Amino acid sequence: MPPKKKHKKGSVGGSVSTETLKKVTSSKKPLEEVPVSNDVFPHWLMKSEPETRMEKGVDVKFGIEDLKKEPDQTACWDGVRNYQARNFMRDQMKVGQLAFFYHSNCKPPGIAGIVEIVKESYPDHTQFDKKDVHFDSTAKKEDPRWHMVDVKYIRMLKRYISLNELKHYHLEHKASKGPLSNIALFTRARLSVQPVTKEEWEFILTLEDQDPPKGIK
Give the domain 18-207 fold. ph1033 like fold (3.10.590)
Task: Please give the pLDDT value at position 56.
Answer: 87
Predicted confidence at residue 181, as pLDDT, reads: 97
Render 22-61 in DSSP notation, one character per residue: HHHHS-SS-GGG----SSS-SEEEEEE--S--EETTEE--
10-residue mean pLDDT series, the chain (217 residues): 47 36 40 45 97 92 98 98 97 97 97 98 97 95 97 98 98 97 96 97 98 93
pLDDT score recorded for residue 129: 96
User: CA 169 to CA 84: how far, in whole Å?
Assistant: 25
Residue 8: closest CA among 192, 211, 212, 213: 192
The pLDDT of residue 9 is 60
User: What DSSP string runs through 94-120?
Assistant: -TT-EEEEEE-SSSS-EEEEEEEEEEE
Q: Measured between alpha carbons, how far is 74 from 116 in angstroms, rounded to an integer?
A: 9
pLDDT of residue 40: 72
